[in-house]
Amino acid sequence: MPVATPQQYQAMIDAAQKGNYAYPAVNITSITTINAALKAFADAKSDGIIQVSTGGGQFASGLNLSDAAFGAIVLAEATHILAEKHDVLVALHTDHCHPEKVDGFLKPLLEASRKRIAEGKGPLFQSHMFDGSVVDLKQNLELSIQLLKECAELDIILEVEAGCVGGEEDGHDTSGLPAEKLYTTPEDMLEVYEELHPIGRFLFAATFGNVHGAYKPGAVQLKPTILRDGQKAVTDKHGAEAFMDLVFHGGSGSELSDIRETLEYGVVKMNIDTDTQYAFTRPVVTHLCENIEGVLKIDGEVGNKKTYDPRSYLKKAEKSMADRLIQATEDLCSNGKTIFVNV
């Protein structure tokens, strides 16, 4: 089953940690973007993570509903079906969920997983992100502990964040924050480990200057050594087995050397959205510009159905997005390393 079981997902993370590589976690919003992600992972022979944001869920549910949880369920169920035809493993994950959205987004998704498990299936999503970085660390951890307990009962991994990723993306806006908020301290990382490790497995989005959105190379000043120092604080006190599974948010515009350095410090997942959005849209624009007289019914003409048929440009968008995601697997060194075995 190419949508990973909880055990397979943990094995994916273990393999990445041991092999010094990470999985691209790509945001999807539609059947076309799901297919682009699956094509990329299959063509690259890389396992990967497909994730849904609250905004993506709202979009997928349609204009009349605009229901983030319902749309996320639709996208996840579609991924379960489509992934069966691909010989790689993918995990389903939800992106940033702030405290005020937990009841309307995360709770219904956990209930959907609970129902699936009762039917003898696996959970709908293999992991969820709770973003408590908008509150102080004490309250963040109190809320994280509650959610991790619920997730652990369902064999679901919880991703948490301490410190804030700057910038704005898909409804997540922390632009204007003071610079010190963009860096997680070793003390923060130690406290997160000590509070959450006894409860269940978690992913940790520690921040080291990363910023959401699109930036020219060199504009984002990362400090990957923050991850190194935080991991050292944890392992010095609790031993090598306490080395944490880290997540890299806001990677667009980052230097490849910085990306690769984070792999040494425990990053096993890197979110990618801005770059794949652009890769999806760019060939659509080219198609429309090159076929403008066929796409538009100008001066009473009938246009050209072959060029205004959405499939004509969405196929190009799917391929372009897949190509960009394949590049991400290469950057993160996950290409050719699927642990899926077709028996």
Would you state the pLDDT for residue 138? 95
**Six-digit token string for 17:** 């940690």
Would you state the pLDDT for residue 1? 62
**Which domains, and CATH codes, for the chain?**
6-289+318-331 (3.20.20.70)
Would you state the pLDDT for residue 222? 84
The span from the CA of 62 to the CA of 72, in Å, is 11
Would you state the pLDDT for residue 164? 58
The span from the CA of 10 to the CA of 57, in Å, is 25
User: What is the residue-level pLDDT of the chain in tens, covering all 343 positions?
Assistant: 699 999 999 999 999 999 999 999 999 999 999 999 999 999 999 999 999 999 999 999 999 999 999 999 999 999 999 999 999 999 999 999 999 999 999 999 999 999 999 999 999 999 999 999 889 999 999 999 999 999 999 999 999 998 755 445 455 444 444 455 568 999 999 999 999 999 999 999 999 987 755 545 445 578 999 999 999 999 999 999 999 999 999 776 678 999 999 999 999 999 999 999 999 999 999 999 999 999 999 998 999 999 999 999 999 999 999 999 999 999 999 999 999 986 4
Catalytic annotation, residues: 95
Question: Counting every residue, how long is the chain?
Answer: 343
Would you state the pLDDT for residue 152? 98
Would you state the pLDDT for residue 219? 52
Would you state the pLDDT for residue 341? 86
Q: Is the dihedral of CA 134, 16, 200, 69 positive or negative?
A: positive
Phi, psi dihedrals of residue 82, rounded to the nearest 5°: -65, -35
**Six-digit token string for 132:** 């408590």
**Six-digit token string for 11:** 């094995």
The span from the CA of 39 to the CA of 26, in Å, is 12
**Six-digit token string for 255:** 């230097």
Cα dist from 22 to 12, 174, 263, 276, 311, whole Å: 10, 25, 7, 17, 33
The SS3 of residue 49 is: strand
Instruction: Using CB atoms within 10 Å of the CB of residue 106, give its burial: 0 to 12 exposed, 13 to 18 middle, 19+ buried.
Output: buried
Would you state the pLDDT for residue 181? 58
Would you state the pLDDT for residue 275? 93
Would you state the pLDDT for residue 174? 46
